[in-house]
Amino acid sequence: MIGGCRRIFEKMANTTSAKKATRKIARRTIVNKSRRTQMRSSVRTVEEAIKRGDRAGALTAMASAEPELMKAAQQNIIHKNAASRKVSRLTHQIAKLAK
């Protein structure tokens, strides 16, 4: 995968520093993609538990999903307001299950 990214980016760069920057971008893209996937997976487990109506399962999944979201926001993978909004909406949906 790195080779594929590297080939795409290196065609555009002319200077040595630009070539290095594109190599860095390619490496960071892969890392960020992995972190984004992990975050989305944890959110998905919460949403599936909510859909099933499993409040206890949703609460335990939320306990692991919230730190994932906030960590992603700190690492600029998603915007901090988007992470807070997602946490708020999931929490609200879990609270509705208690009724």
Locate 36 and state its tokens.
């984004």
Q: What pLDDT score was predicted for residue 68?
A: 96
Other C-beta atoms closer than 10 Å to the C-beta of 75 total 13
Predicted TM-score (pTM) of the model is: 0.77
CA distance readout (Å), 74 to 15, 25, 70: 31, 18, 6
Other C-beta atoms closer than 10 Å to the C-beta of 28 total 10
Please report, in tens digits, the pLDDT of each residue of the chain (99 residues total). 555 555 555 567 789 999 999 999 999 999 999 999 999 999 999 999 999 999 999 999 999 999 999 999 999 999 999 999 999 999 999 999 987
- Domains annotated on the chain, with CATH: 2-97 (1.20.58.110)
